[in-house]
Amino acid sequence: MGMASPTTSRHLLLLLLWICAAASTAWAHGGGGDADADADAGAGDGDAKPDLRARGLVATKLWCLALVFAGTLAGGVSPYFMRWNEAFLALGTQFAGGVFLGTAMMHFLSDANETFADLVPSSAYPFAFMLACAGYVLTMLAECAISSVVARGRTAPAAAPASAGALEEGKLSSTNGNGSEQQAAEQEQDAHSTASMLRNASTLGDSILLIAALCFHSVFEGIAIGVAETKADAWKALWTISLHKVFAAVAMGIALLRMLPNRPLLSCFAYAFAFAVSSPIGVGIGIVIDATAQGAVADWIFAVSMGLATGIFVYVSVNHLLAKGYKPQSPVAADTPLGRWLAVVLGVGVIAVVMIWDT
Average pLDDT score over residue span 139-146: 82
User: Cα–chain-centroid distance for residue 47?
Assistant: 36
**Where exactly are the structural domains of the chain?**
52-156+208-357
Angle at 111 between CA 109 and CA 115, to 5 degrees: 115
Model pLDDT, residue 89 = 73
Indicate if the alpha-carbon torsion angle 130, 132, 133, 139 is positive or negative.
Answer: positive
- pTM comes to 0.57
What number is the average pLDDT over the span 36-60?
A: 60
Which residue type occupies 317? S
| pLDDT above 70 (res 58) | yes
Phi, psi dihedrals of residue 244, rounded to the nearest 5°: -65, -45
- 228-258 burial by CB neighbour count: b if 16+ within 10 A, else e? bbbbbbbbbbbbbbbbbbbbbbbbbbbbbee
DSSP 3-state of 329: coil
Give the pLDDT score at 108: 83
Contact yes or no for 72/245 (Cβ under 8 A): yes
First to last CA, the chain: 48
pLDDT at 96: 77
pLDDT score at 168: 42
Whole-number pLDDT of residue 46 = 45
Is it the case that residue 280 has pLDDT exceeding 70?
yes
Question: Is residue 319 classed as helix, strand or coil in its secondary structure?
Answer: helix
pLDDT digit string, tens, across residues 295-317: 677 778 888 888 988 888 888 88
Which is higher by pLDDT, 291 or 141?
141
Mean pLDDT of 267-296: 80
* Alpha-carbon distance values, 169 to 51, 157, 174, 198 (Å): 75, 19, 9, 20
Reported as a pLDDT band with limits 50, 70 and 90, residue 228 is: confident
Find the mean pLDDT for residues 313-338: 79
Q: What is the pLDDT of residue 328?
A: 72
Query: What pLDDT digit, counting tens, does each position of 74-126 carry?
Result: 888 877 777 667 777 778 778 878 877 888 888 889 888 998 998 998 888 99
d(CA 226, CA 89) in angstroms, rounded, equals 28
